[in-house]
A and B are shown apart, each in its own frame.
Chain A
Amino acid sequence: MNVVMASDGKLGPVRVWALSAGGMVGGGIYIALGVVIAVAGQWAWASFLLAGVVAVISAFSYGRLSSHFGKSGGAFEFLEEMDRRSLAGSLSWLLMIGYTLTISVYVYAFGHYVAYAFGGGEMLIRGLGAGAGILLIGLNLAGLGKMTSVEVVIVSVNLLVLLVLAIWGMSEWSTPALTAGIEPRPPSGALVGAAAIFVSYEGFQLLTYEYDEIRDAKRVFTPILASSAIFVVLVYIAVTLGGTMLAGALTVVDRKQIALSIAAEEAAGTAGLVVMTIAAGFATAAAINSTLFSTAKLAARVARDGELAAWFDHENGQGVPDRPVVLIGILATAMALIGSLSSLVEAASLVFLATFVVVNVVCAREMRRQRAIPIVGAVLGGIIGVVLLARLAVTAPIPLAILLVLAALVFLGRPLVLKRVRTEGSKDREDGDGDASDADTDEEKGS
């Protein structure tokens, strides 16, 4: 059997594993490292471990629920299957906000990493970010949003570069580098750090939208998601330690937008910088591409179920949900150009934490076996969520307020909005009414 591409055209296990791991590593680590060291200092590795425990458990829960219901669609589908349509609709709106923020983080990272290699300033950073956003919207519209073969290559190279950096850094181990230039942080900082960088683990979710495309999914999906998440936790811990060894803690924090380029430059000079820039550029571009594709598909799917305006359920000649692609892509690019890094990363973290907690709760309710695992995930995710709320209240009250207002609008205002806009449900009713009146007219004509 070909484990990469199965003979029936479906995704083989190796490809699914690579896409799951790459979906997580794609953009997160490039901008999360400086953020987490600023908060957790020498305990940054423990932050990735703590957040990783929630991510691994959530991957397990996503896998089991996908296999249980046997459908693509992730959290939205799980809740719909449980007849929680309203909650499913609200959560899907929140997820779309979260994905849009995540794409903007990737655009931000792309602009900074590539511009740094060319010695560019703020204008070049913004120009590159905007260019990447527009180019990838175009690629998606041309039907190239799902380039799994290309993605697998990019993911593999990206993981290889990160692992080489991590091993190189750890081979130069020096414990003082963990606190170089910073005040040692208390162990409790690890919890705050876990809250700040949780978004780095969201990527595996995208695979749940492709469940129908996976060969022998019922058997392989859960172990693939869980094992890829475990692998990514180990990669993040290794890169955190290795990167800090090479650049020193204060430099990683000070140059957080390009921390891994600085570390690679310290390790191998210009060659290191070039390799890291290529890896970061392609990894973030691939992450933008695949996240945009999946989010647009989710929007179209949600619109088809009448939980979003019917306007979103529109395909171009390539079968691409073009309107969501353009709208989400432009919003994300614009936010990347005007927003600050930390608030973007953390606002997105809050959305995904909430979603993971919900999925773990659903898993604990639906599954008869091993229920303790998702319960632990939900409790730990809830604790990290509360810490993140407290952190945002202190460090970024305005982005937090905006996010809470958006969440309130989603939960309270969504039904009102859906009553006022044309949805698939209302369209069907209108079509039904139209058919009936047509029939009446025909009868009248006949008589």
Chain B
Amino acid sequence: MRVALLLLLLAGCATSEPEHSGLRLVALAQGPGALHVQVCPEDADSCDDLTVTRGTVSDALELVPGIHEIRVSATEDGPVLSRFEYGFGPGAEYALALYGVADEPTHVSWTAEAKDLLGGIDEPFVAGFQLAHRMVPLRPPDADEAGEVRLVHGAPGAQPVRGTLALDSETIELPAVPYGAMGEAVRVERASGRLTLSFEGSPLDLAHVDLEPRPGTLTVVYVGAIEDGSLEVFTDRVGVSPR
């Protein structure tokens, strides 16, 4: 009995290495062809450096749980355009979407700060169309559950964007998402379909994307800057599908 209690006590006292967080960087910003990003832990001297080409998603960075400062610039030697902090929890996966116009360092006015304080993280647009950021949780459903699709809108100056996902026998509406926001994850029972994006209230199609929202996966559809009159749209899928 005493041995069992001792073992329990030891198990309780055992320390394990904290699970790392995963962070993908998503470059949606209008302007430079790529963004240079530094991710620096709060109490460390060294930073992770990464360059992300516009319209792409980076590989996942492994981060120690805790608060990290993130610095974004147009080039490795260029001035920092935006600097902010995020917390990262153990064992979680995230995507950080960088959107807006990346032409000069962001200036946060006191009204923007007040809006941020009062509105919280649910309120986008606090800094106009300047370079901004939104964290997307990459939490796919369980392998035996229906897949999910969600929209992230990062096209500065654009109206809210909505989606219509045409599947074999049905269509699923993805509610309109305003600039700087992400829509709710919508469950999709079928494994493939065609997503049509359009501005809210407009009958015109903006873009078409073929999706494979398989069970156990989360597909994030990023709507980036408008280039040459068309929306830059790309997807990222995470999770493990049994098929």
Please give the residue numbers on chain A whose beta carbons come within 8 Å of chain B beta carbons, in ascending order: 38-42, 119, 121, 174-186, 188-189, 192, 248-251, 253-254, 342, 387, 390-391, 394-395
Contacts and interface: CB of A to CB of B under 8 A. Distances in A.
B16 to A, nearest CB: 11
A42 B121 CA distance: 12
B115 A249 contact: no
Given A184-B67, A248-B92, A251-B137, A394 B123 contact: yes
A192 B86 CA distance: 20
B77 to A, nearest CB: 27
B86 A395 contact: no
B87 A176 contact: yes
Given A119-B146, A176-B89, A181-B86, A391 B122 contact: no
A174 B90 contact: yes
B117 A342 contact: no
A253 B121 contact: yes
A181 B65 contact: no
Contact of B89 (A40, A181, A254, A387): A181
Contacts of B84: 183
A174 B18 contact: yes
Contacts of B18: 174, 176
A1 to B, nearest CB: 43
B120 A119 contact: no
Given A38-B120, A40-B120, 11 more contacts: A38-B121, A39-B120, A41-B120, A176-B87, A176-B89, A180-B89, A181-B88, A183-B121, A251-B137, A251-B139, A390-B118
B212 interface: no
- SS class of chain B's interface: helix, strand, loop or mixed? mixed
Interface string B111-145: 00011011111110000000000010101000001
Contact of A181 (B66, B135, B187): B135
A375 to B, nearest CB: 27
A176 B67 contact: yes
B85 interface: yes
Interface centre among A41, A248, A391 (most CB of B within 10 A): A248
Given A119-B187, A176-B65, A181-B135, A249 B122 contact: no
B129 to A, nearest CB: 19
A211 B18 CA distance: 53
15 contacts: A40-B120, A119-B146, A119-B187, A176-B87, A178-B87, A179-B86, A180-B21, A181-B92, A182-B87, A183-B86, A189-B120, A248-B137, A249-B89, A253-B122, A395-B123
Nearest to B135: A181
A248 B89 contact: yes
Could you say which interface size class chain B belongs to? 20 to 34
- SS class of chain A's interface: helix, strand, loop or mixed? helix
Contact of A254 (B21, B137, B186): B137
B94 interface: yes
A342 B122 contact: yes
B67 A119 contact: no
Contacts of B87: 42, 176, 178-184, 249
A313 B227 CA distance: 65
Nearest to A196: B120
B51 to A, nearest CB: 23
Interface in B42-79: 65-67
Contact of B117 (A38, A182, A188, A253): A188
Given A38-B122, A394-B123, A395-B123, A184 B89 contact: no
A394 B89 CA distance: 30
Interface in B165-211: 186-187
A391 B119 contact: yes
B89 to A, nearest CB: 3
A253 B94 CA distance: 14
Contacts of A390: 118
A395 B115 CA distance: 8
A390 B120 CA distance: 13
Interface centre among B18, B66, B84 (most CB of A within 10 A): B66
Interface in B29-52: none
Contacts of B117: 186, 188-189, 192
